[in-house]
Structure 1
Amino acid sequence: MKGEQREEQGLGPEPAAPPQPTEEEEALIEFYRSYRDLFQFFCTTTTIHGAIRLVCSQHNRMKTAFWAVLWLCAFGMMYWQFGQLFGEYFSYPVSLNINLNCDKLVFPAVTICNLNPYRYTQIKEELEELDRITEQTLYDLYKYNSSNTLGAHPRGRRDLWETWPHPLQRLAVPAPPSRARAARSTASIVRDNNPQVNWKDWKIGFQLCNQNKSDCFYQTYSSGVDAVREWYRFHYINIVSCLGDTSPSPGEDMLDNFIFACRFNQAPCNQA
């Protein structure tokens, strides 16, 4: 009986074997367990020259130290070169080369001729006197004082008549002229570009007569501006017509009368 029980116990199910350890599943991002593993992975996978020598020569410390020093020197030189390049880039160096070529220029010879036969210096005094008489005439007719000096010492009409033979004044209404003269006077007197005044002011003008004063012509205007302008123009032409065709002497300095400045290549012109 006991033997049978032992056999029955021996024929029973065997106990289950302990589970064998399985390999850890590979993670998406892995971190190395030590810096030694990280350095070894870097040296075996990088393409930097000499890095593999730091790992494969672990048994020879002399060789490992040599390759380590050489590798550090190469890295130092590389970063020093980077620093030089970036420093030069951000300093913005500019190199300018300026070449100045000074060639001698031939000074030009220019001949200037004044074709105006009338010289201003010859009629300067007459024109100044005409300007003064014009101011006095405006003051006598319209009480217009342009220089503010005529009211203190006004000149009389007798002085004006003695100075100029045709003073501008208020004339009496003349007799009706002939048709031909009336047409000529109307065509040459009336101005469309000046404002017209009252009909009573048609007596502003001057009288033109021959030497014997036997034939006189009344030059009148409807505008005081026209009267003064035509009167001034008449006396200006009369002054210029009295001058002869005189040519300046060779020694006379006429360039200063119509040339204000003359320079060529920063040098003043001469009168050679």
Structure 2
Amino acid sequence: SSMNLKKYFVRALHRLQKGPGYTYKELLVWYCDNTNTHGPKRIIKEGPKKKLIWFFLTLLFASLVFWQWGILINTYLSYNVTSSLSIGFKTMKFPAVTVCNANPFKYSQVKHLLEDLDRLIEAALERILQPTPGNS
């Protein structure tokens, strides 16, 4: 069976290499030829009158499918989203009060890093608070 599998993959590779043409028309013809839906195949294979009928039928049913998808997506998006948040506090037996610094950084260690930020914010505030020339 591994031999058959190898043959199958080689054939698939050749089919991919041959592939569709390069222009949009060739691509369309290739798609219509190789699709397993019957409408597009018939558009290419049948005579001129039947071609037209199959074209309209394919168009009609494709648009029906897209319309149904639209309804489905709209219905899905119209559902309400419900979220609830509850905060509860447990009573502690012991110790009743704990004091600890929740800040993971020592201020004295990061102070020099914050100086640049302070200067930036000061400059930004100055620009914001400057009176505009038109309103004076």
Per residue, is there more strand in 1 or in 2? 1
If the length of structure 1 is used for normalisation, what is the TM-score? 0.22
Q: Which has the higher contact order (CA 8 A, sep 6+)?
A: 1
Per residue, is there more helix in 1 or in 2? 2
If the length of structure 2 is used for normalisation, what is the TM-score? 0.42
Flag the structure with larger Rg. Answer: 1
